[in-house]
A and B are shown apart, each in its own frame.
Chain A
Amino acid sequence: MKRFIPIFIVILLLAGASYFLLFNDEKEPKNALQKELQLDDFNKVRSCATLPPFLYQNGIRRPIIDLSQQRYKGVAFLYGPKFSKVLHKKTWERFDALGTYTIDKYGNIYLTPNPYISITPATFNLQKAIYKMDKRSGKLERWMVLDDVIPTANNPYGLISILYDCEDGTLWVSAIDKSDYKGGKGRIYHIDPKSKEIIEKIENVDALTLAWLYTKKSRYLLMGSALDNGLYAFAFKNGKVVKEARKLFELPNPKLHIRKIKVVGKNKLYLEAIKFTYSLIAETAKKQRTQYIAQYDSKLKKWEVKELKQ
């Protein structure tokens, strides 16, 4: 038996060489935005957001929150027949242009900024903050400043999207500063509004918009990417977000980026998309946006994305 030792050694050597050369593939660079995700059926879920009492007191019931900056700087509420009436205060202009909002279960409105058309010495600082409109007084204040958000002349954007989490009363806020031609260096912050503490952070993702999607078994944090034309989802495991975005689909037009996501029916999403190049040509009015309906076939695990002609 001893005489076969050299043969055994060679076999072992060959096995080792085979493993290292043929089966031990170089690890692919981790790319948080790669793998496609397959979902179960999903549907609209009633939001916990309530109408701010100050609007109710002003006789406003179902307003449109106008952040288009076309007619009103900051924020305005359009209401009444054909939304012809407007509630807008001069003090709501003090933080310049605002881009997205979310409403909590008490009626407080949280807003994120948006650099718009021209830059002033204050613009970059304004992009670092989350703004809050008080549910009772309607007073708009700089609610929380995130110091590691640093817009520059090469990327004037900072905080860009915000979403309230009805399950635990927290906020999810995305920032896309620091990103450049070489890639996304954005973050999604998970914030506790009571303590104003950052609970967790998802890094290296540029979310132009955030939204919730609920299936029967689980929920997902959806994001429209500022870097490409894809819609991505973060899954949750044991109540904690899995920090790896998985692609659901891409828009047919590669130049467009999803700026608004809404679940509008069973397995159906409504999307608004804009051209976005991290420069100041920002489309804010609805007519400047391309609208899509994305229909999901849960049996075939396939999406069909169709443009809505305006």
Chain B
Amino acid sequence: MKSEYKIAAVLFIVGMALIGGVYYLKKEKHSRAALLDKSDKKIIIPSDSPKIKEVQEYLEDLQKLYKEGKSVLPLEKDELDEKGEIAQSVALKDARFLSDTKADGKILHNDIMRVLPAMPSMLDAKSKTLCKGECYIVEKYNFVSNSTTRAIVDVAKRRVVAVKRYDNMQTDISNRLKKIAKAIALKSPEIIKELGHTPTPNELSMANVRTNLQESPCEEKHHLCVAPTFADHQKELALWAIVDLTELKLAAAKWAGLGKTYTPACIDERTLQNRYIVKNFCQKDNNVSRDGWEFTYHLTGSDGLELRNIRYKGQEVTRSLKIVDWHVAYKGLGADKLDTSTPTIVEGRRVEFVKGENNEYTFGYNDAMGCPMFSTSVVLAFNGPQIKPIIQKGKEAGFAIVQDFRNPKWPMACNYRYQNRFEFYKDGSFRVVGINLGRGCSNKAIYRPVMRLDITAGKKERFALYQGEHWREWATEQKYQSTSKEPLYKGHYLYRIDNKEEPKRGFYVEPNRGQFHDNSRGDHERVFVTKYNPNEGDEDLLTLGSCCKLDQDGIEPYLSNEKIDGENLVFWYVPRIQNDDRPGHEYCWADSTIDEYGNPSVKLWPCIVGPKFVPIKNIDKEK
């Protein structure tokens, strides 16, 4: 080989190797950047909180403290010097310092967060003149009101010089809470899964960094939150664990690039949840296959959680199940003085008024439930759908898929919370359940969930109403108002949807008369049967009719006297619930209260409505 060829060959090999090497390094850098961008969008939403020793001990200490009649958890001795101990003890005897530690006789969760020598910059002019000797600052945080109280204590004279309260302000946290935050982060299954190993305390940093800015993850709830992080310097990434110290749990976690100018603290927990819900349940269908049942489900823009193409042991039993609306109406007296010339707005919603007889009127709203973003709803999906087993008499009888919807400010007055619950039993029966968890605007509310149930009993469906001795089949579209006192077929069933040519295919419908052991006061339902029309709710249905015309449920325009015998039918079921706020009799109600640990909590009195569909062949097999 000529030397020029040899040189050319060597040059080619070396050159290509060099170019290849540089190309590889460049790609590596690029892919790391891409990984970073991908990770930046990844949000981890925890499911259940595990029991953590440090949290349990803390809660036990709180209970012990409250039993002793005390209201503020002091700092432990290892966080105090000698004078600090004196300052804390003096502050804890001062009525001004303790004035916000009880409400309605109930102790509110308060912790001393720090005790330290008062620096001149912490004192105002008056305090400076009073602090002749050595003064200490004692700071406590009120978890209920999200406020900080600072006492300036003259240690020598053992007296409180000044007390200042800072509303919506959070102080630095105590070492104990820092340890708890670390423990929550280190022991959370989601964090372990994300990191790929059980982390050690050495991997953690910034456990005391409060996300106390306006953009904090717990901004909506005004909770005390901190953000311990796990840094992975090789990947140039950090996993941020956002810990809610008011609820003592991991609120969310998020990957972010090291050295980014923003942090996950810039996004609150609800926003994270909303994105997760939209991405996983609004933008795509999900599938369930369990106990012989198969179906798809998704969250809609305004019709709540919709289940579609439901099959039991391979046979289609319903095309679509959903609760499309909640009509909320309140009764009032004094219709003659009612001025409706200008709109009335309550909690940001326009109120509809309907004048009735005897000087009465009704007013209220139509509540659509749906996706938290990109929707026409005002009661928004809260967390994603959850699938839970149904346990009856100690055995698993089936499963339920449940979706929670809330106004962001629930349980405040005029804010609502609903649940869509679909129960599927191993014997082929199913129940569609609407749950109202209060609280509404007043105690004279009538709630009407509108259920659209597209049952499938074959190609030639028919509907019948039980009338004592016999079933009366409906020839045309119509409605029926139940008295709740009708005789029921075999003591349970009032309605029947079956197949004209195959009568054992279909369902008996068991209305809720309080027999389902869920403290329900019954459905008091109105039912409608219409011929299937794709424009009548097969797709997302906008708010139906009036909230407050109690003689109408919004489905009436779909009743056009069409023949329904042997057609594809849609069954509409509208329960009617009256709420109750009488002490001891609450129903469809919610109240804010203080729990045993002095933290804010909500007491619920749900009302549960909805019919059960039982396969005809399960009931008539005895014949």
**Chain A residues at the B interface, C-beta cutoff of 8 Å:** 3-4, 6-7, 9-11, 13-14, 17-18, 21-22, 69-73, 115-121, 123, 152-156, 179-182, 252-255, 277-281, 283, 288, 307
A283-B373 Cα distance, complex, nearest whole Å? 15
Q: Distance in Å from the Cβ of A118 to the closest Cβ of chain B?
A: 6
Q: Given A279-B373, A280-B377, do A254 and B11 touch, yes or no (CB 8 Å)?
A: no
B70 within 8 A of A: no
Q: Distance in Å from the Cβ of B474 to the closest Cβ of chain A?
A: 28
Contacts of A156 in B (CB 8 A): 375-376
Q: Given A119-B368, A181-B278, A277-B373, do A7 and B345 touch, yes or no (CB 8 Å)?
A: no
8 additional A-B residue pairs with CB within 8 Å, beyond A118-B368, A279-B380, A280-B377? A7-B11, A9-B8, A21-B19, A71-B343, A118-B349, A154-B540, A181-B278, A277-B374
Contacts of B376 in A (CB 8 A): 115, 119, 153, 156, 279-280
Q: Which of B268, B343, B365 has the most CB of A within 10 A?
A: B343
Contacts of A72 in B (CB 8 A): 342-343
Q: Given A252-B215, A278-B374, do A10 and B4 touch, yes or no (CB 8 Å)?
A: no
B335-351 vs A: 1/0 string, CB under 8 Å?
Answer: 00000001101001110
Q: Distance in Å from the Cβ of A247 to the closest Cβ of chain B?
A: 14
B547-581 vs A: 1/0 string, CB under 8 Å?
Answer: 00000000000000000000000000000000000
**B266 nearest in chain A by CB position:** A254
**Chain B residues at the A interface, C-beta cutoff of 8 Å:** 2, 4-5, 7-9, 11-12, 15-16, 19, 22-23, 26, 214-215, 262, 266-268, 271, 274, 278-279, 282-283, 300-302, 342-343, 345, 348-350, 365-366, 368, 370-378, 380, 408, 539-540, 542-543
Q: Distance in Å from the Cβ of A250 to the closest Cβ of chain B?
A: 9
Flag if B373 contacts A278 (CB, 8 Å). yes
A69-B342 Cα distance, complex, nearest whole Å? 10
A18-B370 Cα distance, complex, nearest whole Å? 54
CB < 8 Å A-B pair total: 135
Q: Distance in Å from the Cβ of B164 to the closest Cβ of chain A?
A: 19
Flag if B349 contacts A253 (CB, 8 Å). no
A252-B266 Cα distance, complex, nearest whole Å? 9
**B283 nearest in chain A by CB position:** A181
Q: Distance in Å from the Cβ of A142 to the closest Cβ of chain B?
A: 21
A-B contact pairs, 24 of them (CB 8 A): A18-B19, A21-B23, A22-B23, A69-B345, A70-B345, A73-B343, A117-B350, A117-B378, A118-B349, A118-B350, A119-B302, A119-B368, A119-B376, A153-B370, A153-B542, A154-B540, A155-B374, A156-B376, A181-B373, A254-B266, A255-B268, A277-B372, A277-B374, A279-B370
Flag if B374 contacts A121 (CB, 8 Å). no
A78-B368 Cα distance, complex, nearest whole Å? 33
Contacts of B19 in A (CB 8 A): 14, 17-18, 21-22
Contacts of B267 in A (CB 8 A): 254-255
Q: Which of A115, A252, A281 has the most CB of B within 10 A?
A: A281
Q: Of A7, A152, A279, which is within 8 A of B7 by CB?
A: A7
A-B pairs, 8 with minimum CB distance: A153-B301, A153-B540, A6-B8, A14-B15, A277-B373, A278-B374, A10-B8, A279-B375
